[in-house]
Amino acid sequence: MNCGDVRDLVHAYADDELDVMTAREVEEHLELCATCRGKLGEVRAVKGAVGGQYFRAPVGLRERVLQEIGAEEDRSTIRLSPNALMGKMPTGTSAFPGANSARFSGRERGKEGRFFTWRVLATAAVLVIVVGLVFMMRGGGEDRVVAEVLTAHLRSLQPGHLVDVESTDQHTVKPWFDTHVDFSPPVRQLKDEGFPLVGGRLDYFEDRPVAALVYSRGKHLINLFVWPGEKVGGEAQRRGFDVVHWSDGGMTFWAVSDLNREELEKFAQIFRESTPTTTAN
Amino acid sequence: MASAEVMRRFEDVVLIHLDAAYNLARWLTGSEHDAQDVVQDACVRAFRAFDQFRGGDARAWLLTIIRNTSFTLMSGRKTQMELDETTHEPVDHDVDPHVILSRASDAKRVREAIEMLPEELRTVIVLREMEGLSYKQIATVAGVPIGTVMSRLSRGRERLAGLLAEDEPVGRGS
């Protein structure tokens, strides 16, 4: 085996893709030839440099994928019937985390829109819920807040909308809010409790700025909306939605997620009991 | 109509490769936003075709769909960074591994060098060095014979070695 042969084979050798016999012949040549050893070193150096440049899937992508698949699955049964929306809303299930939007659409009546792309229909599904919720929630202020909370949660799951400041460090997220809203939301890192902080976002409910803290639980996301105010209504649970509401230190809190109810309540409990990094003004 | 059972199986078999899917899409599109769109489109396509998936290599299967979806999205667009085959000849001399190693810690520089590779070289480099796919799996995803995978890998690495060894950081018109 000469240098020309080895230079052809050195990549496959570095990749461990040669059969044993050929690999041994390459090795025999490498022992004798410093130039080819240098070539192998070059190949390995490039491999090492490139190998570390990995982009992991961003937080929330999995949920959005499942949401879109859920919408796709219900493609032929999307309804605009308010009756379907007035019924009891199913909560997120483990099989369809994030797919609530599609689930809300119901299954009684309607026709198939084959000329729509699935993407248009997925968007339509979200709009149906939003419209439906606003319609349904038009009643009291509390209901309207629930609708806002759910709408904002769904909106945040769209690509690029989850966080304005992405950080697992409460000491980064907290000062960011201090410069973006005129109140001081308590930011807590709950990683040790199993709810790592993902980041923060500025959101608007009826033109009022609200702080959105984003936490994760495995593949699920939790939006915790905070603004100055008191608790409204006596019930934390609303029509089967996974929304938990409380108030503390002059702030009102709304947590929303496709997590199961127990887990979301656990999150709320942990958040309330944890030591605040700063007390609210 | 897919049942929750099918959905769960899809999650277990296919969606566990979400990082791999995103990584390839990210390198093929050059944008976080486009990559997320590609992954979502591709996963819906994969889900639709899932009942025809008869076991086997789910990762290679998903990555093939990712690649096709990326092309659909990118068709009509021109990636700015990509090297023109004619304007940037690969170096024909060997590069000192120590020079490459000294530049490997500069993540931005390494990333730009990868982005400058023509797509067909970039794909095999990403699949091999980041995903650790075998030549056979890469051949499946890229839709070319194994011999072509081998020559693309060596050309891709030669290019990268040359780009990383340049004194000036890589960039347009260099």
Bridge partners, A203 (sequence order) = A210
Of B22, B43, B74, the position where a domain reaches its end is B74
Query: Phi, psi at residue B116, to the nearest 5°?
Result: -80, -10
> Do the Cβ atoms of B129 and A17 come within 8 Å?
no
> Do the Cβ atoms of B37 and A48 come within 8 Å?
no
% of residues, chain B, pLDDT over 90: 55
- A203-230: average pLDDT: 86
In a domain, B152, yes or no: yes
In a domain, B89, yes or no: no
**Which of A75-79, A98-102, A170-174, A190-194 bottoms out in mean pLDDT, i.e. has the lowest?**
A98-102
> Do the Cβ atoms of A55 and B22 come within 8 Å?
yes
Is the CATH number 3.90.550 carried by domain A165-273? no
CATH number of the domain bearing residue B67: 1.10.1740.10
Query: What is the average pLDDT value for chain B, to the nearest integer?
Result: 84
Residues of A in Cβ contact (< 8 Å) with B114: 50, 53
**Which of A229-233, B52-56, B132-136 bottoms out in mean pLDDT, i.e. has the lowest?**
A229-233
Residues of A in Cβ contact (< 8 Å) with B117: none
Nearest CB among B104, B129, B161 relative to A42 is that of B161
In a domain, B8, yes or no: yes
Nearest CB among B32, B39, B129 relative to A65 is that of B39
CATH number of the domain bearing residue B124: 1.10.10.10
Bridge partners, A255 (sequence order) = A224, A244
In a domain, B92, yes or no: no
> Nearest-CA distance from B86 to chain A in Å?
23
On the question of pLDDT at A129 being above 70, the answer is no
On the question of pLDDT at A212 being above 60, the answer is yes
pLDDT band at A276 (very low <50, low <70, confident <90, very high): low
The length of chain B in residues reads 174
- B138-151: average pLDDT: 93
The length of chain A in residues reads 281
Nearest CB among B15, B40, B154 relative to A11 is that of B154
CA B8 vs CA A61, A62, B12, B48, B50: distances in Å:
17, 13, 6, 14, 12
pLDDT value, residue A233: 58
In a domain, B127, yes or no: yes
Residues of A in Cβ contact (< 8 Å) with B128: 15
On the question of pLDDT at A134 being above 50, the answer is no
Tell me how many residue pairs between chain A and chain B have CB atoms under 8 A apart. 136
On the question of pLDDT at A105 being above 80, the answer is no
Nearest CB among B19, B33, B40 relative to A68 is that of B40
**Which of A101-115, A145-159, A182-196, B107-121 bottoms out in mean pLDDT, i.e. has the lowest?**
A101-115
Tokens 């030549």 sit at which residue?
B135
% of residues, chain A, pLDDT over 70: 68
On the question of pLDDT at B173 being above 50, the answer is no
Question: Are B55 and B117 in a shared domain?
Answer: no
CA-based radius of gyration for chain B:
18
Could you give the CA distance from residue A215 to residue A6 in angstroms, rounded to a whole number?
Answer: 53
pLDDT value, residue B36: 94
- B4-17: average pLDDT: 86
pLDDT value, residue B101: 78
Question: Are B69 and B129 in a shared domain?
Answer: no
> Do the Cβ atoms of B103 and A96 come within 8 Å?
no
Give the model confidence (pLDDT) of A223-273 as tens digits: 999 988 877 754 444 444 478 888 888 888 989 887 778 888 899 999 988
Nearest residue in chain B measured CA to CA from A117? B41
What the block records as the tokens of A247 is: 């108030």
> Nearest-CA distance from B153 to chain A in Å?
8
In a domain, B79, yes or no: no
Query: What is the average pLDDT value for chain A, to the nearest integer?
Result: 74
Could you give the CA distance from residue A114 to residue A82 in angstroms, rounded to a whole number?
Answer: 22
CB A228 within 8 A of CB A253: no
Residues of B in Cβ contact (< 8 Å) with A72: 44, 47-48
> Nearest-CA distance from B92 to chain A in Å?
12
pLDDT value, residue A32: 94
Nearest CB among A46, A57, A160 relative to B100 is that of A46
| Number of domains, chain B | 2
In a domain, B173, yes or no: no
Give the model confidence (pLDDT) of B66-118 as tens digits: 998 998 887 756 554 455 544 455 555 677 888 887 777 788 899 999 999 99
Provide the pairing of β-strand A220-228 with A208-217. Answer: antiparallel
Which of residues A160 and A279 earns the better pLDDT score? A160
Q: Where are the domains of chain A?
A: 3-51, 61-156, 165-273
Nearest residue in chain B measured CA to CA from A72? B44
pLDDT band at A87 (very low <50, low <70, confident <90, very high): very low
pLDDT value, residue B86: 45
- A37-64: average pLDDT: 91
Nearest residue in chain B measured CA to CA from A69? B44
Select from B24, B26, B100 the residue whose CB has the most chain A CBs within 10 Å, as the one to mutate to test that interface.
B100
pLDDT value, residue B76: 57
In a domain, B17, yes or no: yes
Question: Are B65 and B124 in a shared domain?
Answer: no
Nearest residue in chain B measured CA to CA from A42? B97
Nearest CB among A17, A68, A96 relative to B7 is that of A96
First to last CA, chain B: 55
pLDDT value, residue B90: 53
- For A4, residues 6+ apart whose C-beta sits below 8 A from its C-beta are none
pLDDT value, residue A45: 92
Q: Residues of A at the B interface (Cβ-Cβ below 8 Å)?
A: 8, 11-12, 15, 17, 35, 38-39, 41-58, 61-62, 64-66, 68-69, 72-73, 93-96, 118-119, 159-160
- The whole domain housing B138 covers 97-165
Residue A1 carries which side chain, given as an amino acid letter?
Answer: M
Nearest CB among B94, B130, B134 relative to A42 is that of B94
> Do the Cβ atoms of A48 and B101 come within 8 Å?
yes
- A79-92: average pLDDT: 35
- B29-35: average pLDDT: 93
Residues of B in Cβ contact (< 8 Å) with A51: 129-130
Q: With CA atoms as reference, report the closest residue to B42 among B17, B68, B9.
A: B68
Of B39, B74, B109, the position where a domain reaches its end is B74
pLDDT band at A154 (very low <50, low <70, confident <90, very high): confident
pLDDT value, residue A258: 77
**Which of A74-88, A157-171, A244-258, B89-103 bottoms out in mean pLDDT, i.e. has the lowest?**
A74-88
